[in-house]
A and B are shown apart, each in its own frame.
Chain A
Amino acid sequence: EAGVVQSPRYKIIEKKQPVAFWCNPISGHNTLYWYLQNLGQGPELLIRYENEEAVDDSQLPKDRFSAERLKGVDSTLKIQPAELGDSAVYLCASSFASGGNNEQFFGPGTRLTVL
């Protein structure tokens, strides 16, 4: 069974440029999460989707970050414009359901470098 797929794996951009990350969750997983992982830190939740609905986006900086999961499967996280402080690893995870603390499976992440 394929795991969570993310692309690109690495992205280098200049500040003020836009950037987008793509995630394909494990088949059958209706809950999708985007996390931010700064160097030397644990992941921090940005947004959680139940199917196509963003049910928790309280930690998403909405002035520059946006996300979508139009058909309840793949998801895209966008930053526009990127700032130097956005350099981090962006992790996508999925689970079969969110209630009851189901195991979250993580993808390999996208490492973003903003110059």
Chain B
Amino acid sequence: GENVEQHPSTLSVQEGDSAVIKCTYSDSASNYFPWYKQELGKGPQLIIDIRSNVGEKKDQRIAVTLNKTAKHFSLHITETQPEDSAVYFCAASRDYKLSFGAGTTVTVRA
């Protein structure tokens, strides 16, 4: 099955700085890569996703890049704000089945 590795496990950044989270996947047939944000006591919420026919996607302060050859994808958050503090999960999917990374706890210091 699919194996997704996510790094780093924790990330502390100064408000206004950028945050980068990296993931690798094992199944070359995976074609959908969503990123979820999970706040304490809540379920994961989709923040951005990318499909295998696209190399980069941006939505305001959030961007995701995908390198299919190397089988890795990354989340970039620019101009971080305190409300960006949360656990972020990457996932990889072929068809419907999401395989999640272990998560990155992001702390934005004011």
Contacts and interface: CB of A to CB of B under 8 A. Distances in A.
Contacts, number: 57
Counting contact residues on chain B (CB < 8 A from A), the size range is: 20 to 34
B43 A104 contact: no
A53 interface: no
A102 B34 CA distance: 10
Overall SS of chain A's interface: loop
B97 A108 contact: no
A41 B45 contact: no
Interface string B41-54: 11111100101000
Contacts of A99: 95-96
A45 interface: yes
A51 B77 CA distance: 37
B98 interface: yes
A56 interface: yes
Contacts of B97: 45, 48, 56
Interface in A80-104: 91, 93, 95, 98-104
A61 interface: no
Interface of A: 4, 31, 40-45, 48, 56, 91, 93, 95, 98-109
Interface of B: 4, 6, 31-32, 34, 36, 41-46, 49, 51, 89, 91, 93, 95-98, 100-103
